[in-house]
Structure 1
């Protein structure tokens, strides 16, 4: 079978979507006229017939390819196997970029022309268009007559370009297939398609080995990576191993490297580097370990327990609250009490801001669809975010992910079906699918999200429906595969599936299975730990006015008093931990007169919250690095081995410092009874919300 490059793109588009597509949409995507699309469709009639497919046309609605699913898959497989002798201009330019990235020396234009079956003049025009692309990464093309063409710039910029090309143009399913070694048998096959050429940048045989090494240190990470970040990290390491062996070194500012070496992520990256050195017989320099650390610090998180116990999260928490208030005011909907929205924004923003500050960037394949579906919300969130983070450029890609969090908050429901969403792209893609599901099926009670890697640990009987954006092995149980944007046809199939469950069967299944997933005894134990933590906090709370004492003297006296009361076993250990934490960054809460000193230590036996009002302002470093005056020290302590319920209470207490201006003012200037009332009311609301969520 022979099809032209444009016909191939047209076929791929029709196969990728079950919904009706207008000829105008196709023409716009392919950058041709509607007449050309009609002509190409006529030329493809014989291909459709060969595979038992036909083109359904509905006037005023659009066209779509109809037929048996297995016939569609057969055509898709044939397209994938085709050896392409003709490329679209975009594909051709990508092939040139790949060749330049792989080359150790200048590449002759005649060589590129021969490989791509075009003229040297065409290659030259393609290079003109690529100039702007590479400049965005701080790279440049060196072009000289008789010399050829060479990609010049830093190694880190080249790797960033490689990663972006991979994630922009290779389907995530192919990545998952690589990670799961399902296409290892094709590792030595010719690389004809653009996707295969891009995957050729990564040594496929090394991916499984690298993944094994990451597994050994995975438990030490302070968070669980989203699948997209996990895959990106594995791919980054595979690229790094190849580039290190070729002598392509990363260059790092010594001061930046020194700052990274003080982080927990650097310890983990260093341990991982040592294991990779042994496995691949390479020497990994400190600069590469620093680069690995940056990837870990910029990774998307999945869990959020205890995150607010860290100053960077608390600083971001202030911004999250401000963004929520800004969006709420413009929407006329109060989202300030939505704890899930707040915590999700903190979890997303912390690594996102790190990525942006260090020029790491982010891809968002759903951006166009988000802008189309949530145009008004996108404009509101974009305006609020760019005012809030005025000193940091926020690209549309990041705005798109923030929009998903707000859209999810706006669409939450309280009754109906229980659905599990499996998604490989992290929280962002899972959330947009969840929102579209709720829009199409309002009776959904809750949408739990899990990654493709976490799926094995789930109890399928706890859900009315399992939906996945990636095909799962049969042994994983029944599930429906859909696209992240959820087509009309997919929504119809889901509704039919749920309609087949009678209301009686639904009532019988939902409650017992939910209990099997989280037995009542576990629920009661979790509630007990929450209530015990709240009791410890409130029973031990005190607000003391301190005269003529420095902050360090106050902390020392406070810890010794807590030691005498049995809250901690060694005051000196806790004081040292507080000072160590202070040395890593400021603890003053910007925009307030409060400083949060906190620690988790094995010397702490139970959670504790105490406050100290200064008789005169003192200057400390703020969480934003700027000096600031404070009049109140907040001391929050927790055991080092605290479980997630204890951490959730401590995190919730810390959010009071950034909740709103009124709360911050009460903490800074209110009397002991007034402050106690604020804290107890805050924790009472937290407990009520937790109890309701447990009963659902």
Structure 2
């Protein structure tokens, strides 16, 4: 609701809505057991509420009485709204849910709200509301708004209209993702806008003229923004846009679609949409994510790329080129990646330039499941950000991660390469013959190295092969092997083929952590460290690495900056702060176990692994992240690591196959 109505005013309004006749103030006062003066004051508040809602009117006839003017349908909708707030339809016991509800209420209130009113509305004590408002104020500040406290009047939100709308849209999305939402709840309780179906229909009509359809998420966000904009326009709260910026927006193709939609909305809702609002609608069109058809290929993709603006295409090619070089993969040959990324960046760059926020409900899952690719994307963004004078938040970086991860999956579908370590003891000529025959018989196999038996363990730790092909019996924990002769007979071929068909995962025991063990240095294991916060801990570990000559002096500041962009907590009480390859002299892994957990973003962390990986060892990063992901799930081993008192015992706990 926009204006606040307490329980008595709601009951009076419901009574008047159901009474199809003029009712005297005396009769109302008698029915609700209050004075006629109280009724007059209540009717003033009810009249304000009806004016804000814009459909019904409270008509007063001096000496006769009062009645509600409007159609039966308008009265029915008003009764539905009142029923929504006249009882606790959803539990307000959960502080987080209650906070969201309070924010939504304050954003829609057109006058100060007292603590007592909020306590009554949300069925909690005033002390609880005071505590809630501390968190509410922080949330509003993050959205560029203020919570103003007015003596003897209450609290009220203040700030720029653009930030106000973005905040209202954000809270709408959060409430829609809450455990309670239904379509009716979203329509009525979030922003009380019953015309959503009409808006949805109009937007769908416009969408048919676009080169690519909106994503479902973008479509929903666009409809919500339009609903909020129409309601704010009715309240004479409009967006201000610089004339020069408005002229620039008029030159965009999206402006034509915004103008067409605004014309339809004006007719549908009998409202005049100012030119500045047309510009704001254009910005939302420009920032809306679109869907790429999975059926596009070849000439269709080329045609679609021709329609993408040059800046988005240039950024796309730079980004793909950098990631391709870093991962040593031909991603630039993937046209599907190029088009999908270009379409995404077109909208992303517009969102970032105009301050439109994009929530990413998959952020946590993406960071957890595709941590290596997520970190890769974060590492290549700074030069682009500097050139574009923009900053990509972690939500956007996560969406970019999905595009690149999908490209990797497509490559794996075509041919999953298997890394093989060749162990041969019979001389150079024999090993070359064996290697040549393996490459000819098994094109999907890449021989990473040829070593002798005494070099095999070290080579496995370095290369992380999928399996070993050896001319002598050999057993290395965690890595399957095929014993062959240099001729490779039919049975030996079948054995190798069976190993190729096996999925790429740990083949022996999941608690084997070769990369962690290879990079971990005994002198860099710190147990029972006392730290006040994550910044202190990052600084401590970075200083230890620098003092021993593993990293450059700038490593610490870079690791702190990386942490500011996105939390490196990965679950299981583990965090993995780090900095770019360029600041590492030689690879090492430092670990700190804390004497008590520290807050790390939204997590509590007890074990911190700081990786310093040089460019020459970059192939270790992927298995490093994979092993740490396994360690998060290895609860028994994690428990033991937190109990050890000596560095040697800590290392042995990682080495032990079974715990």
Q: TM-score, normalised by structure 1?
A: 0.43
**Larger Rg: 1 or 2?**
2
RCO higher in structure (CA 8 A, sep ≥6): 1
